[in-house]
Structure 1
Amino acid sequence: MVEAADTAFGEQRARELLAAAVPEVAAADATLLSLGENAVFAAGDLVAKVGRDASLLDRARHELRIAAWLADSGVPAVRAAEPAPREADGHPVTLWHRLPGTLRPATTSDLAELLRVVHALPEPDFTLPGRELLGGVERWLRLAGDAVDPADAAYLRERRDGFAAAAAALTPHLPPGPIHGDALPRNVHIGPDGPVLVDLETFSGDLREHDLVVLALSRDRYGLDPAAYDAFVRTYGWDVREWEGCEVLRGARETASCAWVAQHAPGNAAALAEFRRRVASLRAGDAGVRWHAF
């Protein structure tokens, strides 16, 4: 069964946690920006990220450490307002400096330029974790509980194990090193000083191809304009689809993306429908089925 604390996590619960962790902020007046792995609120000059689950505490600490490293390295990225997470009822709450208003939507070329900067970074003086692309599958399926078919959950676990083994055996084309881990234009903010990276939770030290497969999958599954993908390739300087390991990382990311939607299925009919769409397309081996961003 799904734990009561998990099913109760929504905007109201997140506001209660925000009020408990950051009493100096008027939580009732904060603006909800997004609700996913974290509830993200804007309040004055701050942005607060409230973790959906207590298990995200280590991930929050990691993101803050990455933010400090990127600041020291001069990489344009979101800056933390405090060096350590606060906690409320076990949920991590991190505080960030609010970015100026966006001037325009980020393009795939903006993303590619930032990735070139990230991929040129030397290793930091601390150990970056590997990109555990499939590491969240078990937690997301646990959060889904009885809302999803147990056979579908078992199928995704089997896929996870198979792709994890295959990914571990890959020979990269690019030298491994620091990566963003969730390289999408939505994680780039265009302010008055240019593109800035946001959402640093998945920063890792791993195959740089991980960052490039994301848009290849977006082109195939989510309807990204092929011209936008081509612009990304031109700016970055290489097309990951030329690499023989591309299908393995693509399959791993599809598996993770499918399981990610499952956590929203309890009480959310649209999420459940999208989860079923994704699982059915994976079972059928139909790479052409359009997935809807959620």
Structure 2
Amino acid sequence: MDETRARAVLDAARLPGAVRDAELLALGENAVFGAGGLVVKVGRSAELLERAERELAVAGWLEAAGVPAVRAAEPTARLVEGHPVTVWHRLPEPVRPAEPRDLAPLLRQVHALPAAPFALPRRELLGGVERWLRLAGNAIDPADAAYLRSRRDGFASAAAALTPHLPPGPIHGDALPRNVHVGPDGPVLVDLETFSADLREHDLVVLALARDRYGVGGAAYDAFTTAYGWDVREWEGCGVLRGARETASCAWVAQHAPSNPAALTEFRRRVASLREGDAGVRWYPF
């Protein structure tokens, strides 16, 4: 889905307000538009409708629990021309960029929650690999696709056998500073679509990988672990969840390769580093 298609869906949704000239804020799994006091998310395909509906349910649950998070402006998702559309209250302008230390207290609040009053899925970190590789098509080397499928299968089996250090329960699922918005009233969680019920370690491995692959500094990472109260790298299962996330991250970038040369370059960089076993090669956010 490109911006042109996403805008066509936005127009067809006939939302209130001046959404026709909405500003494109992000384009990935969702196209995210800002229009006045609203944010509208247009999902890539109809198969993401269930996830969009669950994200709205999570937002209402977090609001009731007092967890600072983005709030829905409409309680249900719309399916418009085969694309799920959800509407959110727009957050005020950030007062500064989010840092790892801003994420830790939010995760502590989420990890202290009891089970949600509705079903949350397991964190199927590797569940999207096949779809992303399918979307990549012939833009990527078939040998690279086969390699990632093999890694997916191996890490899926290894992850299923892990013994956690923390009690399992609700998690954010994509716990990075980019999913925290620091407004006038402090940090809030955004992008709730990966909320799951699974190993809490999933949320902590995300930033450990960001330290090694995406340039998060050692001091910033240490501030995060101090604020949270534990460093997941002390856990023997850390390498398994890290490997699973690296595999998923490679496949996620692959889906953009057919239309974006920069994505193809980044995909090749990531796969080469995995093949070579070089855990220190810098990856770049996409």
Q: Is the 8 A contact 1:141 1:262 kept in 2?
A: yes
* Deviation of the 1:60 alpha carbon: 0.4
Query: 3-state SS of the aligned residue for 2:133?
Result: helix
CA distance in 2, matches of 1:228, 1:147: 37
Query: 3-state SS of the aligned residue for 1:28?
Result: coil
Which blocks of at least 5 consecutive residues in structure 1 are unaligned?
Answer: 1-8
Q: Is the 8 A contact 2:40 2:85 kept in 1?
A: yes
User: Paired residue for 1:269?
Assistant: 261
Which blocks of at least 5 consecutive residues in structure 2 are unaligned?
Answer: none
Of 210, 225, 235, 1:233 maps to 225
* Deviation of the 1:127 alpha carbon: 2.1
CA distance in 2, matches of 1:72, 1:174: 25
User: Paired residue for 2:66?
Assistant: 74
Q: Is the 8 A contact 1:19 1:25 kept in 2?
A: no
CA distance in 1, matches of 2:8, 2:131: 23
* Deviation of the 1:23 alpha carbon: 4.0
User: Paired residue for 1:249?
Assistant: 241
Is residue 144 from structure 1 mapped to residue 125 from structure 2 by the alignment? no
Question: What code does the residue aligned with 2:119 have?
Answer: T
Q: Is the 8 A contact 2:26 2:32 kept in 1?
A: yes
Q: Is the 8 A contact 1:103 1:192 kept in 2?
A: yes
Is residue 53 from structure 1 mapped to residue 48 from structure 2 by the alignment? no
User: Paired residue for 1:3?
Assistant: none
CA distance in 2, matches of 1:74, 1:234: 23
Of 235, 256, 260, 2:252 maps to 260
Is residue 155 from structure 1 mapped to residue 147 from structure 2 by the alignment? yes
CA distance in 2, matches of 1:54, 1:218: 31
Q: Is the 8 A contact 1:108 1:228 kept in 2?
A: yes
CA distance in 2, matches of 1:169, 1:287: 23
Q: Is the 8 A contact 1:221 1:287 kept in 2?
A: yes
Of 194, 209, 219, 2:201 maps to 209
Q: Is the 8 A contact 2:93 2:183 kept in 1?
A: yes
State, as a whole percentage, how many aligned pairs show the same letter. 77
Query: 3-state SS of the aligned residue for 1:291?
Result: coil
How many pairs does the alignment contain? 286
* Deviation of the 1:141 alpha carbon: 0.6
* Deviation of the 1:32 alpha carbon: 0.5
Is residue 189 from structure 1 mapped to residue 166 from structure 2 by the alignment? no
Query: 3-state SS of the aligned residue for 2:20?
Result: helix
* Deviation of the 1:139 alpha carbon: 0.8
Q: Is the 8 A contact 1:16 1:27 kept in 2?
A: no
Question: What code does the residue aligned with 2:224 have?
Answer: F
Post-superposition CA distance 1:49-71 (Å, at most 9, x none): 00012211111011011111111
Give the TM-score of the pair, scaled to structure 1: 0.96
Question: What code does the residue aligned with 1:108 have?
Answer: P
Question: What code does the residue aligned with 1:79 have?
Answer: R
CA distance in 2, matches of 1:143, 1:61: 23
Q: Which runs of 4+ in 1 moved over 6 A?
A: none
Question: What code does the residue aligned with 2:122 have?
Answer: G
User: For residues 109-120 of structure 1, what are the structure 2 equivalents within 5 Å?
Assistant: 109-120=101-112
Is residue 26 from structure 1 mapped to residue 18 from structure 2 by the alignment? yes
Question: What code does the residue aligned with 1:106 have?
Answer: A
Query: 3-state SS of the aligned residue for 1:48?
Result: strand
CA distance in 1, matches of 2:269, 2:198: 30
Is residue 107 from structure 1 mapped to residue 107 from structure 2 by the alignment? no
CA distance in 2, matches of 1:51, 1:208: 27
CA distance in 1, matches of 2:75, 2:269: 41
Question: What code does the residue aligned with 1:90 have?
Answer: G
CA distance in 1, matches of 2:17, 2:31: 15
Q: Is the 8 A contact 2:10 2:20 kept in 1?
A: no
Post-superposition CA distance 1:242-290 (Å, at most 9, x none): 0000000000000000000001000211000100111111111111111
CA distance in 2, matches of 1:114, 1:190: 12
User: Paired residue for 1:130?
Assistant: 122
Query: 3-state SS of the aligned residue for 1:27?
Result: coil
CA distance in 2, matches of 1:223, 1:163: 24
Q: Is the 8 A contact 2:123 2:198 kept in 1?
A: yes
Over 3 Å counting, the alpha-carbon distance change for 1:215 and 1:28 in structure 2 is: same
Post-superposition CA distance 1:162-184 (Å, at most 9, x none): 10110000000000011000000
* Deviation of the 1:83 alpha carbon: 1.0
